């Protein structure tokens, strides 16, 4: 009997799943930046302080962080596909609400709805990738996933500022609401490739074969692992650095280097594009490295050094733009090694739960950063912004090395 190779079919399926998940991840990161690029217009219209603007971002990430921890359990229970559909729908509705906001309360409501939508992506995405992509292609899947997120971050300011400049900030947000709709249509069209739910019959059989006490046992066992909480800490401190850049790098660069809004926005966009390039290179480094924490330490040492240099204010404005790109490149290199570090630290059969808890550290840091750095900007200390970025990147090195050490000790023991 002839044996027919299924490799081309598997490759096409894997590529489609990776592309769909990457597209969804990109739109979620786009919505991380749904307000920050429009702060100059919103600040003027509603007469808000930087602290009040920062509180909008804090509300987004507080809701996202709480929701992300819960979403991991829901994904493990009902599957990732429908949860992902819910998240994308919330993003579209949030942009519509924000575009029609008449007061600060409506802005806050829109930010919180966007946070609820954002909360589902990491548990859903990583569950889909781990369950629907061939193991041999998971490295490529993680790389595409990270790069698509960075491209979403990079695209948001260009998209929103360009439309706001030509029309208004409300028009920019209304146009942004169309993007999740397009993504949702693509996900629904290929929904058969995104199914991770266990069939009812199989689920019943599994429950019949598995004692109830055994099913209950182990549901929260992963939370006892120190490495999981160190991963949470790693995401927290890296998110503090990233949150500072996302929320206030543009006004910080304008204040320190006399840049125009366009130039400051360009600097942020280059940061994100360079981060995507760094992530691409970081994928090759991660594939060869046996200790991902060492790659992370090298990458953040590089990024932190240039953050401190940018904080001096001594560079020319053109050089400052290049420094932003170099900081992004260093942070990007760490991305693939970070995902491998978490995968090594996580127990099997708890994908959604682990990624939900660990990535809620990202939201926790992103929630706190706008409050701290908003107060710094209100105090007219823009250089402190970039000093803070460098300090948190140095802390990321310590947490990564700690995670790597605990994981290796657990594997050896």
Q: Answer whether residue 154 is part of any domain.
A: yes
Report the sign of the C-alpha dihedral through residues 58, 64, 68, 74, in that order. positive
Of the candidates 111, 89, 91, 115, the residue with the CA atom closest to the CA atom of residue 101: 111
- In tens, the pLDDT along 318-356 reads 999 999 999 999 999 888 787 777 766 666 655 566 667
- The pLDDT value recorded for residue 371 is 87
Instruction: Quickly tell me which residue has 């809620």 as its tokens.
Output: 360
Per-chain mean pLDDT for the chain: 83
Mean predicted confidence (pLDDT) in 218-230: 67
Domain count, the chain: 1
- In tens, the pLDDT along 370-392 reads 889 989 998 999 999 999 999 99
- The pLDDT value recorded for residue 204 is 43
Q: Answer whether residue 244 is part of any domain.
A: yes
Range of the domain at 54: 11-194+222-412
Q: Answer whether residue 360 is part of any domain.
A: yes
pLDDT > 70: what percent of the chain? 84
Q: Answer whether residue 215 is part of any domain.
A: no
- In tens, the pLDDT along 28-58 reads 999 998 998 999 999 999 999 988 998 998 8
- In tens, the pLDDT along 260-305 reads 888 998 898 899 889 888 988 887 787 777 788 888 889 999 999 9
Q: Answer whether residue 208 is part of any domain.
A: no
Q: Answer whether residue 269 is part of any domain.
A: yes
Contact (CB, 8 A) for 84 and 27: no
- Domain with residue 55: its CATH number is 1.20.1250.20
């Amino acid at each position: 009997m002839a044996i027919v190779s299924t490799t081309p079919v598997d490759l096409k399926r894997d590529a489609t799943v990776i592309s769909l998940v990457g597209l969804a991840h990109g739109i979620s990161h786009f919505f991380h930046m749904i307000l920050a690029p429009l702060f100059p217009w919103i600040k003027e219209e509603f007469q808000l302080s930087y602290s009040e603007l920062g509180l909008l971002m804090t509300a987004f990430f507080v809701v996202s962080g709480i929701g992300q921890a819960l979403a991991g359990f829901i994904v493990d229970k009902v599957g990732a596909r429908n949860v992902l559909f819910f998240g994308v729908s919330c993003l579209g509705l949030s942009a519509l609400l924000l575009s029609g906001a008449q007061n600060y309360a409506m802005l806050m409501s829109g930010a919180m709805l966007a946070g609820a939508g954002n909360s589902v992506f990491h548990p859903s995405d990583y569950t889909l990738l781990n369950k629907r992509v061939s193991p041999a292609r998971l490295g490529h899947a993680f790389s595409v996933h990270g790069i698509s997120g960075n491209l979403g971050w990079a695209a948001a300011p260009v998209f929103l500022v360009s439309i706001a400049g030509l029309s208004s900030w409300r028009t920019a947000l209304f146009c942004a609401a169309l993007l999740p709709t397009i993504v949702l249509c693509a996900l629904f069209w290929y929904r058969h490739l995104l199914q991770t739910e266990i069939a009812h019959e199989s689920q019943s059989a599994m429950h019949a074969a598995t004692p109830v006490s055994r099913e209950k046992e182990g549901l929260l066992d992963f939370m006892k692992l120190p490495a999981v909480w160190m991963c949470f800490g790693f995401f927290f401190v890296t998110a503090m650095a990233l949150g500072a850049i996302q929320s206030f790098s543009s006004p910080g660069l304008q204040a320190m280097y006399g840049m125009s809004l366009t130039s400051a926005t360009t600097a942020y966009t280059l940061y994100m594009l360079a981060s995507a390039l760094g992530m691409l290179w970081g994928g090759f480094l991660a594939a060869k490295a046996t200790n991902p924490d060492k790659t992370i330490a090298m990458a953040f040492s590089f990024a932190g050094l240039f953050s401190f240099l940018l904080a001096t204010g001594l560079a020319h404005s053109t050089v400052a733009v290049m420094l932003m790109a170099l900081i992004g490149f260093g942070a990007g290199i760490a991305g693939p090694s970070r995902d491998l570090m978490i995968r090594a630290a996580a127990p099997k059969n708890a994908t959604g739960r682990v990624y939900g808890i660990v990535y809620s550290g990202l939201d926790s840091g992103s929630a706190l950063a706008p409050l701290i750095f908003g107060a710094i900007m209100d105090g007219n200390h823009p250089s402190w912004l970039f000093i803070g970025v460098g300090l948190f990147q140095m802390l990321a090195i310590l947490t990564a090395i700690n995670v790597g050490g605990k994981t290796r000790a657990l594997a050896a023991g």
